[in-house]
Structure 1
């Protein structure tokens, strides 16, 4: 089946869920009571996506504290907020500091990351649905020699364990009937920005070699699974309406040529994203989901402009191999972007309405 409308992953968390998570962490709410509240939030996320008519839905990532949180919480060995500081900013120069995790002990598998998410979602919808996982090389940033070398002598040794955990997760999702798995990889856009590329070089690393290594590892994760759609989502950072990097996709066009993904979900909501020319490098048997609708700002895009931009993209890749989505999740972190629930609904409805007009079948 051809999917022409979908959401990237996360939806805004309701206030009652955020409050419940705080109560859980402070010991004022039992895990069982919290699960019932999580279930309610997932039910509402499913109902919203079904109501607007998306071709593919998620559980809204309601069970995560951020888009990669299910990985950190499913595996022992991380200091959850003890890692590198990642700066986010907006066009006005306002900044936000995000503290990532760091590996401090040998990783020990505790539970599946997505089994609960997928089985619950599968049982409550007849819609096509997907699950999202973090990219392996994104987790490479969780290795810091001065904090991690007592657990792993090298980053590669740490990554070898991450690969094993991710392969195990993919295999379990497939066993449970999941046929659409999306890998979220904002790390790829680190290779777009000239300042970041220079920073890699100052640290003694070749950004092009790192790109090739990431592609190699991605293929190792997704290869060998017939009947499953694997998608790669690449954005430039998304944290409370702020971003991490900017740049055209051309420096990483090898991702399209050399990875084995079936779909590429790409951020194209503003001038930071560059043009569509790079889409000519996407192989003939792959599809592209154009993230033309921003999740960072409440203003609703004009349908005519979206139609025009899709037509422009179709100069480089046939229209039947294109689809439409927001450019990223609405709440990559649990705080969510600076938009309202009504803004979110209107943007999802816009995705569906434009997609149905362009791809009526």
Structure 2
């Protein structure tokens, strides 16, 4: 495993074609964050990086800082369980242990004063993506069992932390590349499919108070699944792309929020980017573009909710 993961990522044999699926080879050598890796011993927490990030952010923030923690489902999808049976009995054993470790991370965050924690769970869209589902089945996995295990784990992860708001973020991957014709940043993706097939199960089984959904492209489908969201949850619409140089407008965002509000009351809606601006890839928006997109979000939110 290379010491400089970002350098490794740049040298991977990835599809660089704009506006196409960025296919991943999970069996190649490399770090677990981008491949499936086995383990030679049971995992342990050696450093609480989200806690370090929270303390750094809160020291300079004028409002409460939110922290993101990678969810058990995503970690499990990067675990080569079939090569690790001498360490873990299988996926159930591994995921249960991951929950224990991550509860320690969350507990330390809560003790430090963190009141808003987002669980990053982009892998749930694998359960609507044919290629991902076929891969699970080829490894002898039952997608339905994987989904249930993951939702149970996500709920166990956040149980018992009174006074803390938990969100869960779901997307189709933050892959992007540069269009050689225009020099602009343009989207790619890792998974395809609307939320329809999993919406009822997902929205009603998860106990998180906020559900952050990617909605910046046709791959996410329409807003119809929002009708299945319980009344005690807020859906954060990820309408602003973090992987496209094209700039959204306040009017466009207001129009889409209005469309969504026909299926879920506007007081159960919020607005955000579709994913994070960062990542391992050096192909990112410029800092000015990032701030401009954030300014558009803030102005649209003011006009809708003020």
> TM-score, normalized by length of structure 1?
0.72
- Matching of residues 92-107 of structure 1 within 5 Å: 92=20, 99-101=30-32, 102=37, 103-107=39-43
Cα distance in structure 1, aligned partners of 2:292 and 2:151: 36
Q: Is the CA contact 2:92–2:149 (under 8 Å) kept in the aligned structure 1?
A: no
Q: CA deviation at 1:207?
A: 1.5
Cα distance in structure 1, aligned partners of 2:15 and 2:136: 16
Cα distance in structure 2, aligned partners of 1:93 and 1:176: 40
- Report the equivalent of 1:321: 268
Give the 3 Å change call, closer, same or farther, for CA 87–256 of structure 1 in structure 2. farther
Cα distance in structure 2, aligned partners of 1:140 and 1:87: 24
Q: CA deviation at 1:306?
A: 1.2
Cα distance in structure 2, aligned partners of 1:354 and 1:243: 26
2:287 is equivalent to residue 341 of structure 1 = yes
2:111 is equivalent to residue 111 of structure 1 = no
Q: CA deviation at 1:120?
A: 2.0
Superposition CA RMSD, Å: 2.6
2:282 is equivalent to residue 353 of structure 1 = no
2:194 is equivalent to residue 258 of structure 1 = no
> TM-score, normalized by length of structure 2?
0.84
2:259 is equivalent to residue 312 of structure 1 = yes
Q: CA deviation at 1:219?
A: 0.6
Q: Is the CA contact 2:77–2:123 (under 8 Å) kept in the aligned structure 1?
A: no
Cα distance in structure 1, aligned partners of 2:17 and 2:31: 16
Q: CA deviation at 1:111?
A: 2.2
Which string of whole-angstrom CA distances, capped at 9 and with x for unpartnered residues, describes residues 208-238 of structure 1? 2211111111110111111110000000011
2:185 is equivalent to residue 223 of structure 1 = no
Cα distance in structure 1, aligned partners of 2:138 and 2:210: 34
Query: What is the number of residues matched between the two proteins?
Result: 282
Cα distance in structure 1, aligned partners of 2:19 and 2:253: 22
* SS of match in other structure, 2:96: helix
Cα distance in structure 2, aligned partners of 1:164 and 1:343: 39
Give the 3 Å change call, closer, same or farther, for CA 97–196 of structure 1 in structure 2. closer
Structure 2, unmatched stretches of 5+, are 177-186
Higher relative contact order structure (alpha carbons within 8 Å, sequence separation ≥ 6): 1
2:126 is equivalent to residue 190 of structure 1 = yes
- Report the equivalent of 1:127: 63
